[in-house]
Amino acid sequence: MSGKIIQLNEGAIKEELKELVRGSVEETLNELLETEAQRLTQATRYERTESRQGYRSGHYKRHLATTSGDVSLSMPRLKGITFETAIIERYRRRESSVEESLIEMYLAGVSTRRIENITEVLWGSRVSSSTVSELNKKAYVHIEDWRNRLLLGGRYPYIYVDGIYLKRNWGGEFENVSVLVAIGVNEYGYREIIGAAEGMKEDKASWLSFLQWLHGRGLDGVRLIVGDKCTGMLEAAAEVFPQAKYQRCIVHFYRNVFSVTPGGKIKQVSRMLKAIHAQESKAAAREKAQQVARALYDLKLKEAAKKVTDSTEETLTYMDFPYEHWLRIRTNNVIERLNREIRRRTRVVGAFPDGKSALMLVCARLRYVAGSQWGNKKYLNMQRLENLLVNLNYTGSQSTEEHQALSLICA
């Protein structure tokens, strides 16, 4: 008996199943609508009773986009009573799961044009860019609430700050605008995006307003501020958090030295700079920095040597804190990675019509990241810092330099 190969049209089967599901959804929804109409009128169709409320006046058609495809609904029309269905909100054109999916796609970095194409493939109807914009306005209400929330993570010993520049339309001309971002590590060791605000420029006034806003929302217990060398930020931080110490990001420090280094010598200089921060104590790092500065002078790199001499000290603050934390508090990498995510999303948009829309999209992306494993995974063991602070009571076992460092941390 010769076997026969039965070929199935997979595409046709899928289409048939999809239509079967869509038809079932449509039939079920229409039955539910009729049941609701009957409950509201307190009578079945054509029934005359003393308890009857209102009268039926036919139906009107409405289309609803669902995850099973477009369905046609026969909406009961009533006289003497308003028909408000709990199944489908008044004037709603698509179910909430579809709306949530659209917003999630947008916040996850999918461009508006791609969203239009995706909705057509998935749900059989194309959602316009204006509809996506309206949905985003709804999302922005929740985002603004999240942005202004009270900080309930306890004390935040470490905070990372930075500004990211985006293009915006200002008075008919395009210019850069800064969005200031802050990440905190709370006393339990978890990262939290504690703030984002439009800064216009990274000047003292912008940073002062930003840090005061954070403090007003509950930011407290700051021991160390990690960031690039921005004069405005340093001056503002000294006013708002005078007890906090400053750690200049060593990566930004390296880049600053590289800016006055010939391309052919960058690798060599890079190894020299890394040797400074590979030391096991601040005293050893200072000594190494002096050696590096002398070596740079010998290489005729006087400007690079001056930068090392003048700026190394502010890159060594992390050494006053627990050794186990050094790798994560000596750079601003944690916030730089977030900035890359923001740029990836905002690159799709290009120039923003105003600062508000730029800020909202940045915050939307930050909120999206914060709700992922990023914010749920322990970042540092803060018991190490607590133990270091407790050890202040045992000054006899510490050097004068160590005791001074601990005194500053505990101030």
Let me know: does 202 contact 176? Beta carbons within 8 Å: no
Residue 410 lies in a domain: no
Same-domain pairing of 65 and 100: no
Same-domain pairing of 180 and 273: yes
pTM to 2 decimal places: 0.68
Residue 98 lies in a domain: yes
Q: Which helix (H) or strand (E) holds 332?
A: none
* Residues 260-283 pLDDT 10s: 999 999 999 999 999 999 999 999
Specify the DSSP class assigned to residue 126: P
Please give the tally of structural domains in the chain: 3
Write phi, then psi, for 183 (nearest 5 degrees): -120, 135
Same-domain pairing of 302 and 279: yes
Residues 6+ apart with CB under 8 A from 283: 401
Residue 402 lies in a domain: no
Same-domain pairing of 206 and 123: no
Same-domain pairing of 213 and 284: yes
Range of the domain at 75: 11-44+53-93
CA distances from 269 to 137, 259, 308, 330, 332 (A): 50, 11, 11, 19, 21
Residue 405 lies in a domain: no
Report the C-alpha gap between 91 and 302 in whole angstroms.
Answer: 71
Same-domain pairing of 143 and 189: no
Same-domain pairing of 163 and 271: yes
Residues 6+ apart with CB under 8 A from 352: 166, 167, 168, 169, 346, 358, 361
Residue 129 lies in a domain: yes
Same-domain pairing of 312 and 188: yes
Domain closes at, from 102, 117, 147: 147
Q: pLDDT value at position 395? A: 46
Residue 406 lies in a domain: no
Same-domain pairing of 254 and 139: no
Same-domain pairing of 143 and 283: no
Same-domain pairing of 88 and 104: no
Report the C-alpha gap between 172 and 140 in whole angstroms.
Answer: 25
- Tens place of pLDDT for every residue, the chain, 411 residues? 555 555 556 666 656 666 766 776 777 777 778 877 777 777 766 667 766 677 777 888 877 766 666 778 888 888 777 666 655 554 454 455 555 566 666 655 566 777 777 766 665 566 677 776 676 676 677 788 889 999 987 899 999 999 888 776 666 667 777 789 999 999 999 999 999 998 766 688 999 999 999 999 999 999 999 999 888 999 999 999 999 999 999 999 999 999 999 999 999 999 999 999 999 999 999 999 999 999 999 999 999 999 999 999 999 999 999 999 999 999 999 998 888 887 777 666 666 655 566 777 788 888 878 877 888 889 999 998 988 877 755 544 444 454 455 444 544
Residue 231 lies in a domain: yes
Same-domain pairing of 290 and 343: yes
Residue 404 lies in a domain: no
